[in-house]
Structure 1
């Protein structure tokens, strides 16, 4: 894996897996910030960064502060189709993206009424639609946060 396969902390408590890299990744990969990623890219990446912050923020209502000050010290975005050996949670977003992870064994079960959000707590694996406001709206983010909270993600000493 190269330095351009991951954006953020190597010891992330939440890793979001996406199939494509932001423009200019090599210029901010060493010290990423939400501002640097969004300034170098389109509104599309602003949405991804915001949704990552909304899910990962220990204090859901204060996700903007978390995004601006701590996001990439506690999370990462990985562009390679393999789970990193990190002890944290792995979030694979998008059905097409999931197909890239050949042979990924999991027992993810639905956490929402329609089955678009799934979780395998034993593998610390979250499966969701692509991180876009239409597919991963505030109601679905709330479901994800509730399930992660139930699994101890936001607790003291949680990964």
Structure 2
């Protein structure tokens, strides 16, 4: 799964890319903000019976790719989560997109694209994470 995120993390001097870093390094350097981002990604990618903490800390880069501009996205194919409002002008939500609403928050699905709120628990609570995971399992 690809996540198009509007802000790249600060990397340690020893890393050329986020892929060269352990998630714990990114969290240590970038704080609670990136802990939340990586935790929500891990929860979305966790299979039944798995602990999201282990997925986040050990396997996240095997399951998730991060992009920080629309130009970095592959042309098509992989499930892509467009995070937050930053990219809506470049990649607007189609009018016929399926909507999943939980309380006052929503995600939109169209083809292999998902438009999601920012990866923060106030905007993307656990109930929405679970609803999206359930919907993705139904379509696969």
The residue aligned with 1:75 is 64
Q: 1:146 aligns with which of 123, 128, 134?
A: 134
Does structure 1 retain, via aligned residues, the 8 Å contact 2:105–2:123?
A: no
CA RMSD of aligned residues (A): 2.4
Distance in 2 between the 1:69 and 1:124 partners?
26
Structure 2 unaligned segments of length 5 or more: list them: none
1:91 Cα shift?
A: 0.1
Does structure 1 retain, via aligned residues, the 8 Å contact 2:40–2:119?
A: yes
- TM-score scaled by structure 2? 0.83
Aligned residues: 136
- TM-score scaled by structure 1? 0.74
The residue aligned with 1:131 is 119
Q: 1:20 aligns with which of 7, 11, 21?
A: 7
Distance in 2 between the 1:89 and 1:106 partners?
19
1:108 Cα shift?
A: 2.0
Verify: 1:91 aligned to 2:93, yes or no.
Answer: no
| Residues 1:87 and 1:38: Cα distance change in structure 2 (over 3 Å) | same
The residue aligned with 1:64 is 53
Structure 1 unaligned segments of length 5 or more: list them: 1-13, 153-159
Verify: 1:108 aligned to 2:105, yes or no.
Answer: no
